[in-house]
Amino acid sequence: MRRAAALLCAALAAGCITAQPPAEPRYFSPGLPQVSPGDPARAADGPLLRVRRVRAAAHLRDRMVWRNGVEIGFYDLLRWTESPARFVQSALEEELFERRGFRRSGASAVASLSTNLEAFDELLGPAHEAAVALDVLLTDPQSGTLIDRTFEVRKPIAGEDPKDVADALGAALSEAVHEIGSAVAESLGAHPF
């Protein structure tokens, strides 16, 4: 027994057995492509629009999500720098207010956009893709419901690195938000950049 303890101490002292530090989480932001700004002269007379806070499915929090068929899982050490709902909120506001020239409003008497984020996932099969799905409801106090549909975009993921997943999700989000911006502009009769 003493001999085993002595050998263990000698091995530790010699550096043969080393403790590994615990793995640290890695944080990512989706790679959103830069979009050219809209016509600033139109921004002063653009339609008023109320954009409500984006809501997300309960499983879309700070950990990156993978999906394989009907199974959903989470990466323990891969995290988002902000919630996916916040990424969508920022992208929508930039598309609608900065690029398309809508004017912000908090009034209930103007058109209102509600968005629910249903998917912000890495699909493992059958193809390795990034999937973004946004349920959108655009209502107008005078005209009623103008848009009530899901915008879904999938983009291939180039590699196995989590950065590739973040880049593909950013591209899918950018395309989905652009489609939403076009649909909102068409529904409200705004210039369709």
pLDDT, averaged per 10 consecutive residues of the chain (193 residues), comes to 59 58 90 61 76 97 95 96 97 95 93 98 96 98 95 96 97 98 91 51
C-alpha Rg value of the chain to the nearest Å: 23
Tell me what pLDDT residue 22 has.
Answer: 80
DSSP letter at 50 equals E
Q: pTM value?
A: 0.84
Tell me what pLDDT residue 41 has.
Answer: 45
- At 135, the amino acid letter reads D
Tell me what pLDDT residue 46 has.
Answer: 86
Cβ-contact 50, 111 below 8 angstroms: yes
Tell me what pLDDT residue 18 has.
Answer: 61
Q: How far apart are the first and last CA of the chain?
A: 80
> Topology of 26-188 in CATH?
Rossmann fold (3.40.50)
37 token code pair:
């700004």
15 token code pair:
């550096």
47 token code pair:
């339609």
Length of the chain: 193
